Structure 1
Amino acid sequence: MIFDSLNSRLRHIFLFPNGTNVSERNSSLSVDEMLHPENIMILLTVIISIFILVTVLGNTLVIVAFIEDKRLRNQSNFFLLNLAICDFFIGAFCVPMYVPYLITGKWMLGSIFCKLWLVVDNLMCTASALSVVLISYDRFLAVTMAVTYHSQQKKHSQTVLKMIAVWVLSCLVYSPAILLWDYFDEEKSVHDNVCIPGYFYSWYFLLGASTFDFILPLTSISFFNLSIYLNIKIRSKNKRQVIISSISTEESEIPGSSGDKKIAKSLSLLVCVFCICWAPYSLLMVTRAACHDYCIDSYWYEITFWLLWINSSINPLLYPLCHKSFKRAFIKVIYKWLCIKKKE
């Protein structure tokens, strides 16, 4: 299936697709040995294992840091925690469940676990995307409506409601269709050893779903980030005018917009990563369904599929780069863990 397609594609690339003579064939023996199915399987297993380890450990570190450091427990970081939980389950559950399916080309865990895996995977991926929207919206409020934002920091009930809304909306996008599609679809085209949702070839459903979990989130976070940038630009311009027109030192000591510039940079980074990881998958998913796999090779769909999951391993790496508070908390957690190991 996907593994065979990937293997044949690698052979097509490396083993002289335009024809070979005897000497070329002899020189390509080492490449052919390297592309033996068993060797590719070992390589894929190692790469995927590293990916799972990075994703799980990275997001676990975010969660543990949030629990250990009380200073991180503000509204903004609650949303980062929500994102880390989504990404953790992708690395700890969704990817490991998929590995045997990838290697063998057959789903061997039965229909119940198939439905469970599909529900959890789609739920976590959608919740991860909506969590990024929530983070961007929170930063938008912090910059454009600072007074109102700071007055609501202690109202954790609103924070919890927003997080619950993310999970409820994420659940409604794909889960009902995954669980109920087969009951309404008279033509069942899914075999028993294949684990794909009933709407796999329903481009109209996938277009609507991708609009909700990619196009709208991308539009929202782009709008919030652009608004933050324009607000910072206006604020910086006003500050320069005040400094130029002021005489006394006291008048020039106006709060700078540098915690704001960092926010804009961090959000820009999140937006770029989100777009790069989600756009190829969302585009190919609808196109593949419309042409029933005839216009797009399966390995391209597989690559974009993994690119979507890679977003979950990248997100934890963005926190220490963009938030000093998380960086300090990470160092504290790692130091504490090393001290415990040393005592043992």
Structure 2
Amino acid sequence: IHIQGVSISFLGSGTAAADAVSLGLPLRFSLGVLVLLAFLMVLLALVTILGNILVILAFIMDRNLRHRSNYFFLNLAISDFAVGAFCMPLYIPYALTGTWHLGRGLCKIWLVMDYLLCTASVFNIVLISYDRFLSVTKAVSYRAQQGITSNPVVKMVAIWVFALLLYCPAILFWEHVAGHSVVAADQCYAEFFDNWYFLLCASTLEFFVPLLSVAYFNVHIFHDIQRRQRHGSTQDCEPPRSSSLSWRFCFLPRPGESSPPTEAEDSVSSLTRSWRPAVMGNCPSPTQTSPTALKKDFSVSFCSRTGSKLQRDKKIAKSLAIIVCAFAICWAPYTLLMIIRGACQGTCVHNSLYEITFWLLWLNSSLNPFLYPLCHMRFRMAFMKILCPKKFATLRSGNTPSF
């Protein structure tokens, strides 16, 4: 978010004051320092672009990735890619010179895109965490979801609509409602940049509520896993009491015959899929198998499947914990400084400190391709297929369990 003129504390003092500040740093710094800053900014933009392109290509090339949960990864990658491809490149010259040279029209477009994309990225993180929360704690109802509300495309579109409504009307119409503009002609930041009340309300919806929501989902996932660990050995693996029930469950694939799940997100459907007759050869005829043998076979199969699901849910919980930490570290400093700076009209926060937190916020868009897909086997194998096709072919030919 947001962009917001690095020389904001000099509002009203004219172009000379604006030109005296670059990234919150005086221009008396040597050319070498400016070159180093430019190199780091361009590097971050390239990492953001390439990392998210890799996620998008993996989704396009591997058909097995195209299920409900992974559409949210795709939505996140699209928003983060646009941050690196559009927002960062336009901001770098402005950050290095302290002057906006591209006109008011492009400034408005850039502001709208920056606020929209960063907000959509946050909302996508919440949506991914909520989807994982349902898949772990409410597996049966999650698998049985039907109707338009369960359509991932509807949720993805809703994310963009909510993100658009949060900041974009204020960016476009604030000066018309106020009757004048407070932004200098050679600067580019939102008109409400010094409005403490608006910033507090918007930041609550953009950062504090999402952070609390993601933390809530993560805590409940951990509690659910701990509860199943405590009671799993006595409840989940209890043999059936009826021979007829045992025969009904004999269609479960035997350990060693069932293929590994496609990825961690598919843990919610593993038990549901296991109720289908896989291979009739797994089940002897009722006349050939005693009830005691059927009970034992079901117990082993069900315990194996339950333990496998528990391990996958643990991986989901760990990945969500990383998500919470990275999101908080990248967003909290900027959000808090933005509110404080707005309250004191930019006089109590040094420009260089604010600029560092601003780029830290954008850093989250470059980290997301590594924090999310790399936590799952299916994405890792898709990345290997794109980047190292020979190594991928060797693993497949060697019968390494890649999927």
If the TM-score is normalised by the length of the shorter chain, which range does it land in?
Answer: 0.7 to 0.9
Q: Deviations over 1:54-105 (max 9, x none)?
A: 1100000000100110100111100011000010000000000000101111
Establish whether residue 64 from structure 1 lines up as the match of residue 57 from structure 2.
Answer: yes
Query: C-alpha distance in 1, partners of 2:319/2:359?
Result: 24
C-alpha change, 1:337 and 1:6, in structure 2 (3 Å) is farther
Percent identity (aligned): 48
Q: Secondary structure at the match of 1:288?
A: helix
Q: Secondary structure at the match of 1:188?
A: coil
- The aligned residue for residue 356 of structure 2 is 303
- The aligned residue for residue 224 of structure 2 is 231
Greater mean deviation of Cα atoms: 190-199 or 246-255? 246-255
Q: Secondary structure at the match of 1:209?
A: helix
Q: Deviations over 1:89-139 (max 9, x none)?
A: 000000000001011110000000000000000000000000000000100
Q: Deviations over 1:138-177 (max 9, x none)?
A: 0011111112222348979721111111000000010000
- The aligned residue for residue 210 of structure 1 is 203
What is the one-letter code of the residue matched to 2:64?
R
Shift of 1:251: 3.1
Q: Deviations over 1:166-190 (max 9, x none)?
A: 0000000100000000111245321
C-alpha change, 1:243 and 1:152, in structure 2 (3 Å) is closer
- The aligned residue for residue 219 of structure 1 is 212
TM superposition score normalised by structure 1 = 0.85
Higher share in helix? 1
Query: C-alpha distance in 1, partners of 2:22/2:229?
Result: 54
Query: C-alpha distance in 2, partners of 1:283/1:230?
Result: 30
- Picking from 133, 138, 141, the partner of 1:145 is 138
- Can you give the 5+ residue segments of structure 1 that lack an aligned partner in the other structure? 9-34, 340-344
C-alpha change, 1:337 and 1:179, in structure 2 (3 Å) is farther
Q: Secondary structure at the match of 2:347?
A: coil
Query: C-alpha distance in 2, partners of 1:324/1:153?
Result: 27
CA contact (8 A) 1:118 1:178 kept: yes
Query: C-alpha distance in 2, partners of 1:173/1:156?
Result: 22
- The aligned residue for residue 318 of structure 1 is 371
Establish whether residue 3 from structure 1 lines up as the match of residue 51 from structure 2.
Answer: no
Query: C-alpha distance in 2, partners of 1:329/1:152?
Result: 28
- The aligned residue for residue 135 of structure 1 is 128
- The aligned residue for residue 119 of structure 2 is 126
Establish whether residue 251 from structure 1 lines up as the match of residue 299 from structure 2.
Answer: yes
Query: C-alpha distance in 2, partners of 1:70/1:4?
Result: 44
- The aligned residue for residue 47 of structure 1 is 40
Q: How does 1:187-198 map to 2 (within 5 A)?
A: 188-198=181-191
Greater mean deviation of Cα atoms: 145-154 or 325-334? 145-154
- Can you give the 5+ residue segments of structure 2 that lack an aligned partner in the other structure? 1-6, 8-20, 240-294, 393-403
Q: How does 1:48-197 map to 2 (within 5 A)?
A: 48-152=41-145, 158-186=151-179, 188-197=181-190
Query: C-alpha distance in 2, partners of 1:179/1:162?
Result: 26
CA contact (8 A) 1:203 1:286 kept: yes
CA contact (8 A) 1:243 1:251 kept: no
Task: Work out the number of aligned pairs and report it.
Answer: 313
Shift of 1:41: 1.4
The CA RMSD measured in Å over matched residues stands at 2.4
- The aligned residue for residue 273 of structure 2 is none
Shift of 1:300: 1.1
TM superposition score normalised by structure 2 = 0.73
- The aligned residue for residue 329 of structure 1 is 382
Query: C-alpha distance in 2, partners of 1:195/1:79?
Result: 32
